[in-house]
Amino acid sequence: MMKKLYSALMTAFNDDGSINEAGIREMIRYNIDVNKIDGLYVGGSTGENFNMSHDQKEQVFKIAIDEANGAIDLIAQVGSLDLNESKYLAKFVTDLGYPKISAVTPFYYNYTFEQIKNYYNEIVKDVDNKLLIYSIPALTGVSLSMEQFGELFENPKIIGIKYTNADFYLLERVRNAFPDKLILSGFDEMLLPALALGVDGAIGSTYNLNAKRAKAEMIAFDDGDIDKARQLQHDSNDLITALIKNDIYPSLKLVFEEMGVHAGVTKAPMSKPTPEMRAGAKAIYENYLKEN
């Protein structure tokens, strides 16, 4: 079965930090109509979720499901340091019709595993939905072991992982221990090794811009053309390196602008675009994404 590719949906903001609804709709349309994406991960790190108010989160979830209108799969990231908010949002998006939810591991306070387990079980307790654990140790400081994933999977509503972790030894162990669980790779720059370890697909920010190349890489891998897949990963990593050097979150939006998609700006305390950033984004588009 062909592996699934999901874009991590960005949130378009206006200069004052309010939601730019038209921009969000444009990005979703581009993902559906041009990228032919399999799904969107809504409300994650790329969506600047942790910079948003509760009302803004609700607004984005409503816009995304309305614009997608059943055309693709949607995953709503509802995790929050406020467990009551997570539970509320889990019910909110389930009522809207999201077929899957996800939640980042609770972070900052060095929670025990028992506290983390309680958090996940509470989020899904009162909703008829399926949950993906969002594991991103580089940003949360929370690393789960294979045994801990196994304990979480004892809850039948917890169906898999958004695995944004550079520990590929752990990925191999988890993949083999839980062959029926859904594992979606979260590091765009490591798509090829993740495919080699048997992930079911990938979720990433750069797929908003680079879905065509990522899909070609997946096809080359499935066809056994590893040299082609490696070259495509190399080309993607050149793009990713350039984005990181140019300040990745605002740059993703600036490159989208170069592609004719109005993506708005990032929300403070993230950077506002500078003339240098705009020039860098134009060069990224010209060098890595513009088709001859």
Q: Which residues lie across from 265 on neighbouring strands?
A: 13
Query: With b meaning 16 or more CB within 10 Å and e meaning fewer, what string describes 105-131?
Result: bbbeeebeeeebbebbeebbeebebbb
H/E element, 63? helix 54-68
CA R_g for the chain: 18
Cα–Cα nearest to 201, from 209, 191, 189, 190? 191
Contacting residues for 46 by C-beta, under 8 A, at least 6 apart? 8, 9, 10, 204, 205, 249, 252
Residue ranges for the binding site for pyruvate? 46, 203
Environment class of 1 (CB within 10 Å of its CB; exposed 0-12, middle 13-18, buried 19+): exposed
> What CA–CA distance (Å, rounded) separates 93 from 132?
14
> What CA–CA distance (Å, rounded) separates 188 from 203?
8
Contacting residues for 54 by C-beta, under 8 A, at least 6 apart? 85
Residue ranges for the binding site? 45-46, 164, 186, 188-189, 203, 205
Catalytic pick among 162, 215, 253, 267: 162
Q: Which residues lie across from 103 on neighbouring strands?
A: 133
Look at phi and psi of residue 108 and say left if phi exceeds 0, alpha if psi is from -120 to 50, else beta.
left
Is 162 among the residues known to form the active site? yes
Residue 83 identity = L
> What CA–CA distance (Å, rounded) separates 195 from 218?
8
Catalytic pick among 6, 41, 120, 134: 134
Write out the catalytic residue numbers. Answer: 134, 162
